A and B are shown apart, each in its own frame.
Chain A
Amino acid sequence: MGEGDADRAFFNALLQERKIDGFQVLAPAGGRQFGVRLRAIRGATGFKHVKTILLVADNDIDPTASFQQVRAEIRAAGGYGVPDAVLQPATAQNHPSVRIMMLPRAGQPGCLETIVLESLLIEVPTLRECLNDYLKCTPAVGWDQSKQAKMRLQCLIAATCKVDPNCSLTHLWSSKKKLRQLLTYAPFDEITEILGAIA
């Protein structure tokens, strides 16, 4: 369960590309919090067949605060177990176990875009310095790491995705964009291992 359409598109593509079965990827309607979504899936058909819920959130600028925020949202939903640590399963009666995955990695500030950027820079390493130079010329130089990662990624997509320079992260993984090979690169190995272990 991710934070939005971009997460859903990414995880669907990654699971497909890395051949991992057994997941259903959900995105919220209208950017709601996990609490509402956790209550919602309890009301949905098939809930009793769910074994594990993996909540995926961005660390943004403060990994600890972001993790605690996710925990608070699980608590607000009621009934579910609340994990004490990233990736640790928490169980509760009549509920599937819950785990929390923080992006880009446990304890590292950033977001999904941070990892996608790392992956895209493997494809076009020569643009790394150009991006850094460009960043220095923009107001984004004062932004936090998470927002800078989003800015750099958007610039890089515009510069490399000839089919659709205006492409958003949500639509980046369609075969027309010819960027799905990024999902096989090393920056996504850790997420893949985690998903594989849960599946």
Chain B
Amino acid sequence: MIESARIKNFRCFEEVSLSGLANTNIIVGSNASGKTAMLEALFMAATGHPMIAARLRGLRLLNESTLTLDRQGYEAVWRDFFFQFDQARIIHLTLSGSANNTRATRIYYAPEEEENVIVPMGGKPEDSTAVVPIQFEHSSGIGEPTKIRVMFGPDGLSVRGPGPSMVISSFPAGNRANPQEAAQRFSQLSVLGKDAFVIQSLKKLYPFITDVSLQMSGGIPALYASVTGIREKMPVSLVSDGVYRVMTYLLAMASYRNGVLLIDELENGLYYGTLAEVWRVIHEFASEYGTQLFVSTHSSECLRALLPTISGNEDKFTLIRTHKVKGSCEATVINGRDFQSAIEEEMEVR
């Protein structure tokens, strides 16, 4: 479990420390206060991979930059990672906790490596490969830090060096999980005979679903549901966006023990009447598989629906409230007992 985190010079955070983190951490705050950036920081800290940048840019609806073999070209890929877009800063992302979840990532530009273009023997200038001077450096606290180097060539970016092996899944707001990834996870669980818990939980949550199975659709594996009153099986994503989302959360948790799951805006696509039961099932899965959750929400209903689950389990929850102070975002961690009391007393915690 990640017990504390430090984020420095990443996106809107000049420096923020989170301590006393729990199994389930609920992130609230106004728009542009750093909720999504916090999830991205955790994701980046866990994966520490340079190519994550492209994925995060896509999720933020930022256009893929046209890669050009010059400084402006490669800088565009990571520029928005840096606080105030200041690439002279060093990004520090530090996670502390259990052995598997303790690591430090530093991201910075090494000026001495700038413009280090390697032209292969007999090659043409367009075959050139450049070493991008950005450094992704990882340390787990034992031994020398590992460096990942980014190469920039005619085929785009490539990476040399290992990435950390922390298990983390991210579900950004407004984006559905990859159906093939979901199908693959289901398949793995099915082979191991461990898919029943997911199916039973889904059936309990959504009684109109009588079964979930893996089917081939156009040669591609996909998850299908049997639905009461409908003769044919149908893709789960066609049954309901909410059902599909919940299913992918459960699959992510069931697929790896002691992983970390990031969900941005949990309430998206979920009917308010099911929120309490969704929380209960998510908490049940997190307890069963040792998953640590970081879940953001804007919804008061979503927070109130948490009350039956948090009551009696206060020590397993925290509330993280992000807020903007001048040009930087900050965060406050509130323990589960105070959080639970605040929901119970119908106070505004967002």
Q: Report how far A45 CA is from B350 CA in the complex, Å.
A: 6
A44-B348 CB under 8 A given contacts A39-B337, A39-B338: yes
**Shortest CB distance B98–A (Å):** 27
**Chain A residues within 8 Å of B349, by CB:** 43-45
Tally chain B residues at the interface, Cβ within 8 Å. Answer: 18
Question: Is there contact, CB below 8 Å, between A32 and B350?
Answer: no
Interface residues of A, dominant DSSP: helix
Q: Mark B299-323, 1 if CB is under 8 A from A, else 0.
A: 0000000000000000000010100
CB distance from A105 to the nearest CB of B (A): 28
Please tell me if B342 contacts chain A, counting CB pairs below 8 Å: yes
Q: Cβ of B343: which chain A residues have Cβ within 8 Å of it?
A: 43
> Cβ of A36 < 8 Å from any Cβ of B?
yes
CA distance A93 to B321 in the complex (A): 20
Residue A128, interface by CB 8 Å: no
Q: Which residue of A lies closest to B337 (CB)?
A: A39
A residues 1-48 near B (Cβ < 8 Å) are: 28-29, 32, 36-37, 39-45, 48
Residue B144, interface by CB 8 Å: no
A37, A45, A48: the one contacting B345 at CB < 8 Å is: A37
Nearest B residue to A41, CB-CB: B347
In the complex, are the beta carbons of B345 and A32 less than 8 A apart? yes
**B350 in contact with A43 (CB, 8 Å):** no
A–B Cβ pairs within 8 angstroms, 18 of them: A29-B345, A32-B345, A37-B341, A39-B337, A40-B338, A40-B344, A41-B342, A42-B334, A42-B338, A43-B339, A43-B347, A43-B349, A44-B347, A44-B348, A44-B349, A45-B321, A45-B349, A45-B350
Residues of B within 8 A of A (CB): 319, 321, 332, 334, 337-350
Residues of chain A at the chain B interface (Cβ within 8 Å): 28-29, 32, 36-37, 39-45, 48
Which 7 residue pairs are nearest across A and B when measured between Cβ atoms?
Answer: A43-B342, A40-B345, A39-B341, A40-B341, A44-B347, A43-B338, A40-B342
